[in-house]
Structure 1
């Protein structure tokens, strides 16, 4: 195994980071899409459906962050990456590369989810892929607005929800707050569970341009038609969960720093001095240990 590891290991740090973002995002979307698919085409609507989805999505985020954290920092979301870019903790070229592999990972995650539930989807919709209506399954993969939601309302929804998310991500990952690294993925996942309970009623709280656009593109390619870009809305929807989270990511990052981060007292560093008491001399200069 060590010989195989030596041969296949990616030596370049950026290459390893891009691999981490790809795999982590693919896992995230695979979990989210399969959780929703199970609810739509098998379990059916129930009073506990949204609770199950919220926790499934949160666990998907926790797993995606955990698996990629050592390689890339576990962003798995362009909105997170742009937040760190805004704070000067990520270079522009790395942000663009992260964005591309996150999109690719989301596309692959959606494809895997479709393969897992293809038979169930076929039984549910009779092979007629629909975006809206009682047999719609496009919502398994990407977000669509509720009938009451305007384009402006959707934009506000995504900006506020994503800013909230970034605020707590920065809080958990700020070293001055002393959260153990192993707890951070779970806390980030639980934060998104909270977001689900707060924002799901408008558009399903995507808050992640890659997680939304990658699967949406996949549904367009496999035959859901051009309606995937707008749904049943009177306006074109697809750009809202792209632009909104990117704005929210920047706002959330700055809000954390100005409201909390800049005000955390600097920790006093103490120099550790090791002392040894003098011991009485015995035989001709020998020191008693």
Structure 2
């Protein structure tokens, strides 16, 4: 008997299980992760088996889609309701509701994407691959699903608000800030007109670094007896407060992308929807800032937390703050193995 197959599995699915292992291995996913076939007659149906192959990427995709729908929806309501300012002078939203909307989106997205680890952010994904036990082989498929999820989330939000956009800006008119009647800021980020690109880059690095530092603190069971992890089921709610706080305190200058997928995916969607070349050229070709700066911020934020606080396996705790690992493949592999061993011991990361 093939001992890689679960006990009690019908023999007709033996070859399917091996195919599942091969596909998952090529995607960088754990080929031995257990299948979740608990539904009625799930063993006999095709879709549960397909879903089990891509369960983490699909969960990540849907989590990002939901997060972007909440966040962009909050911006849409705050902006587009201004068209009725004469009847409703208080509108239906402001910067506070935008920050809370994104916070709620992240919280619900984490609940939705639980099977994937719920990173919802390529910058956070990369930081976990660099400093924690997240496999580098998983990074490409996670990146793809995160960008795709943000793209779809923006399209769905647009479909919901297209009539309101026409009412606000004019039928079929699609403009980009700082033009009058612009609506592209519902989906993508732009800096305030007085903020130069260098300052905007710093702002995004700063906000994303703070986000990454906070996430690492919440997941750290080596500090203060793991006090931050004492109520692990509250992690999504904690992320709501963190994200809403970052938006409230540091979001105004650049609209706090803090997530390359959250901006670039919707930007591509807006290009398809007719927002034009200005989407890429305005504000001194600003589009690259929310795409690049969050990665820089996440790497810096992770380094700062590990340098000052983290006592577990991390490159920062290796020779010469990790620099020595760059020159010794064996040392780097030993450090990575230790990080992955710690990672797998955490209940929420088992199988991820």
- Give the TM-score, by structure 2 length: 0.70
Shift of 1:2: 1.1
Say whether the 8 Å CA contact 1:26–1:109 is kept in structure 2: yes
Say whether the 8 Å CA contact 1:103–1:210 is kept in structure 2: yes
| Structure 1 residue aligned with 2:41 | 3
| Structure 2 residue aligned with 1:259 | 308
User: Which of 103, 108, 112 is residue 58 of structure 1 equivalent to?
Assistant: 103
For structure 1, list consecutive stretches of 5 or more residues without a partner in the other structure: 264-289
> How many positions carry a matched residue from both structures?
261
Say whether the 8 Å CA contact 2:43–2:49 is kept in structure 1: no
Bigger Rg, which one:
1
CA distance, structure 2, for counterparts of residue 10 and residue 33 of structure 1: 33
Shift of 1:147: 0.8
Q: Does 1:78 align with 2:142?
A: no
Say whether the 8 Å CA contact 1:162–1:252 is kept in structure 2: yes
| Structure 2 residue aligned with 1:273 | none
Assess, with a 3 A threshold, how the Cα gap between structure 1 residues 184 and 152 changes in structure 2: closer, same or farther.
same
Q: Does 1:159 align with 2:205?
A: yes
1:235-263: CA deviations, max 9, x gaps? 11011001100011111112111111128
Shift of 1:10: 4.4
| Structure 2 residue aligned with 1:110 | 154
CA distance, structure 2, for counterparts of residue 62 and residue 173 of structure 1: 16
For structure 2, list consecutive stretches of 5 or more residues without a partner in the other structure: 1-38, 313-352
Between 180-189 and 96-105, the greater mean CA deviation after superposition: 180-189
Q: Does 1:139 align with 2:185?
A: yes
CA distance, structure 2, for counterparts of residue 139 and residue 195 of structure 1: 18
Runs of 4+ in structure 1 over 3 Å off: 10-14, 43-48
- Give the TM-score, by structure 1 length: 0.85
Say whether the 8 Å CA contact 2:218–2:235 is kept in structure 1: yes
Say whether the 8 Å CA contact 2:64–2:150 is kept in structure 1: yes
Say whether the 8 Å CA contact 1:35–1:53 is kept in structure 2: yes
